[in-house]
Amino acid sequence: MALSKDDWSAIWLSCQVATLAATMLLPVAILVAWWLARSPMRGKWLVETVVNLPLVLPPVVTGFLLLVIFSPRGWVGATLGQVGVVLVTNWGAAVLAAAVVSFPLAVRAVKLAFQEADHDLEQIARTLGAGPWLTFWRVSLPLARRGMVAGWFLAFARALGEFGATIMVAGNIAGQTRTIPLAVFSRANAGVDGYQHAWPLVIIAVMLACGALLAGNWLERRAT
């Protein structure tokens, strides 16, 4: 069955949202992963628990919390609204939801890469006069590069499949926030004919997710 114009719109929007979400979260994920892998602080388990919460929370609950925080009357949304930034019921909200639920996967992949990297090389750089940040940029990052790329692919794959948080904070607006999962949901609610029209999107979603997961897992194995 041929893809309709709305199907192509959902596919294109999903790829855009997933790409931007994975790209935006990666720098923060790298810093958090490096701190978790290298910090001697005893309380870092609490930070790691907070980072991993989106993995275990129902996505709808995550979306509800984002809605409370970023709605025009929310803690952060009210401040952003004063400068004309709105992060609900629009494309930016879909990116925000995808980034939040994908963040833990990126952190876990990058953290593993830092843990597997040769820590002695970092110590040698420090003894030769390099400061913490220079060592981070010149030694730690290159050693963990495959883990970073793996983290990006895993976050991209997770962002492609995001549904619960997205529908809560971004809505299901055709051409604006209706990604592949939301389009499949809309088709399925349309009855028997909708089920038949959903299959092309389901197949595309499976292909995209499998490709991203295979790339991420391969790079993660190379990193270790």
The CA-based dihedral angle spanning residues 16, 143, 104, 177, taken in that order and rounded to the nearest 10 degrees: 0
Question: Span 55-76, mean pLDDT?
Answer: 90
Residues whose CB is less than 8 angstroms from the CB of residue 11 and which lie 6 or more positions away in sequence, other chains included: 3, 180, 201, 204
Q: Are 96 and 70 in contact (CB under 8 A)?
A: yes
Angle between helix 180-188 and helix 5-38 axes, rounded to 10 deg: 130
pLDDT for residue 147: 86
Q: What is the pLDDT of residues 21-62, one digit of tens each?
A: 999 999 999 999 988 988 878 878 888 899 999 999 999 999
Q: What is the pLDDT of residues 76-128, one digit of tens each?
A: 888 888 888 888 888 999 999 999 999 999 999 899 888 887 776 777 776 77
Confidence of residue 167 (pLDDT cuts 50, 70, 90): very high
pLDDT for residue 102: 95
pLDDT for residue 88: 86
- DSSP tally for the chain: helices H, then strands E: 12, 0
- Nearest of 126, 134, 150 to residue 29 by alpha carbon: 150
pLDDT for residue 215: 81
Residues whose CB is less than 8 angstroms from the CB of residue 112 and which lie 6 or more positions away in sequence, other chains included: 147, 220, 223, 224
pTM: 0.87
